Structure 1
């Protein structure tokens, strides 16, 4: 029976952890050279969440990740939810600067170039690469209105049907940003994919998992791992995994010197910025997720006070501050605080906005929003009160209030839907900068003479 061999290298959920790229570049170079000698084509793919989550995104806003992926010559990338943490910032940069195509079968946009499928040809055989982006993106991130999200399985079925009508013997591969359990469930609905390269749940699969004749792969998180699959495709659309290597770059010693020099220069910039001492705390400030799920902690109160102070500096009568508790990701321990510690607390670089909102919308948002944390707002006997001129007053449906929040809440994410009706008065800056400045002003480190 006729067959052809292909090698795939796959990554996922890098989250701007760029420090392993020197090793990854060298590994990919070695694999490509070995496969070229055997006349085996090699495709390098990423399954989304390349961006957001480390200090490097905070410093370079995605530019360095794109440069490094271009240098490694990626062949395709799926879109994850964190590609939309900052609205259209990343998708614009990808469209302008990436040398590799983006694929998301369940996304549609007239403004941005997003492929519903990619066509590759090996030995005269058609291979179609599809992509799937989680619908959670609409509630956990801030995608632009110019991108429409559709149900993944339905969109994938429609695309496959259209392609199979023209190319009945083609092979199908999915770059999925749905999560491991969702990938398993998908194979019960769609049996056309030979391979699914997955992401989103940060699952470490040292060997592929078979589900309904589909091989599922996923390579952990933060750039620590990469998978290398050598696949033999047969003309009857069956396939065989001839070899699979799962690389842990913490244990890998070879490195590309040129790429590593560039990484080292980025590390120096990071060290200078994030080692800055900004405050000394006399107590621990609790940002643990279990604590925040139960309500306020001293850290959430501290952050809200910082946001409220930023709003009051506008000179307007700002009544309260409110944001989503899920945005806090770490505690601040007693003692010296560096900029890096503040980043760990608020790693998603959200814009802080002063908004004007009707009382009726504020009430509705607090009813539906997920884990709302506020300062200057309280609920008593099923009635909402807001702090005005140092005393709490009943919130009136038709009255407008000045509230400080982040762009995540303002865009109605985490079910703060009514905040979409609010009017933005002023952009106050990044949450991490506002908190860092508040700490500098109120918790100054001692001056050593």
Structure 2
């Protein structure tokens, strides 16, 4: 499979080690690698984009992505596959199958978790409820209160995964629905302040859940100029999040943006465009004994037509 890989390196803290390549065997014996793969704003793009002269024409496609993900899983023992929302809406597949196909294909790819975007309410709460059984993966949502709706108790605020002794907490944040989604579509869903909510969840994940890595699946949007809450603001105001995987603004970042807090903690923000054209990848390394982060290698993998040779 042909891929245009944008490889970048990031130091983690004052004592961080940038992983310029694969670790030496001696170092590998003392470390654990965790691979995070992520998408956002898939918008029902099942097939590759048409090759009609448009930008990114011929790129994307769920079958190609599935092949690439499987290749990575064969190479790496500890993989998490995550999505930051807006799975639905954008092609006739959604109009015909009402989101069932998207959930089934993501389940086939073995997504580990996703969060809700505004377009995931396009069929109303009833439509979302109807399609949830087709998703074998959980949706995490911390700042939507569904307690007065038919989706009560359907979504946990976070999920904790464990990979080779490394505990990873993944929680979700959604954008304010009022003014963006019709009231009839979200009903009595209550929007909670993302910053205050994130602080509470991070405290629980770091404390009670003893997570070594905290990831936020955000559909707030990357950055706004009008003071609206976004991923940049979240990264700056909430310490303790290691990685914010964003959506909504269809922003393509060649490498994660790093925000350093006063006490030395770093929060990374990443987003990989839209329509499944790119697959984000972050390879964290951890000290096997202390479970502390020691390095990071990042890449953006372009989903393209495989190269054939005669």
How far does the alpha carbon of each residue in 1:75-118 deviate from its partner, in whole angstroms, 9 at most, with x for none? 00011011112212442134322100001111122432111010
**Counterpart residue number, 2:302:** 248
Native 8 Å contact 2:141 2:156 kept in 1: yes
Instruction: Identify which of structures 1 and 2 has the higher relative contact order when contacts are C-alpha pairs closer than 8 Å and 6+ apart.
Output: 2
What displacement does 1:196 show?
1.1
CA–CA separation in structure 2 for the residues paired with 1:72 and 1:25: 6
TM-score (normalizing by structure 2): 0.74
**Counterpart residue number, 1:230:** 283
How far does the alpha carbon of each residue in 1:305-356 deviate from its partner, in whole angstroms, 9 at most, with x for none? xxxxxxxxxxxxxxxxxxxxxxxxxxxxxxxxxxxxxxxxxxxxxxxxxxxx
**Counterpart residue number, 1:200:** 248
What displacement does 1:61 show?
1.0
Partner secondary structure for residue 229 of structure 1? strand
How far does the alpha carbon of each residue in 1:140-161 deviate from its partner, in whole angstroms, 9 at most, with x for none? 1134324322111111111222
Residues 1:6 and 2:62 are matched in the alignment? no
Native 8 Å contact 1:103 1:118 kept in 2: yes
Higher percent of residues as strand? 1
Residues 1:51 and 2:88 are matched in the alignment? yes
Higher percent of residues as helix? 1
Partner secondary structure for residue 207 of structure 2? helix
CA–CA separation in structure 2 for the residues paired with 1:239 and 1:109: 39
> What is the aligned residue count?
248
Native 8 Å contact 2:84 2:115 kept in 1: yes
Structure 1 94/119 Cα, relative in aligned 2: closer, same or farther at 3 Å?
farther
**Counterpart residue number, 2:20:** none
Native 8 Å contact 1:12 1:223 kept in 2: yes
Give the CA RMSD over aligned residues: 2.1
Residues 1:159 and 2:239 are matched in the alignment? no
Which of residues 44, 52, 74 is equivalent to 1:16? Answer: 44
**Counterpart residue number, 1:371:** none
Aligned counterparts, 1:315-330, within 5 A? none
Which of residues 271, 283, 291 is equivalent to 1:218? Answer: 271
Partner secondary structure for residue 28 of structure 1? helix
**Counterpart residue number, 1:350:** none
What displacement does 1:170 show?
3.5
Unmatched 5+ stretches in structure 2: 1-14, 16-29, 48-60, 224-229, 261-265
**Counterpart residue number, 1:189:** 237
CA–CA separation in structure 2 for the residues paired with 1:44 and 1:64: 18
What displacement does 1:239 show?
4.8
Structure 1 239/155 Cα, relative in aligned 2: closer, same or farther at 3 Å?
farther
Question: Rg larger in 1 or in 2?
Answer: 1
CA–CA separation in structure 1 for the residues paired with 2:211 and 2:174: 26
TM-score (normalizing by structure 1): 0.52
**Counterpart residue number, 1:138:** 178
What displacement does 1:163 show?
3.3
Partner secondary structure for residue 206 of structure 1? coil
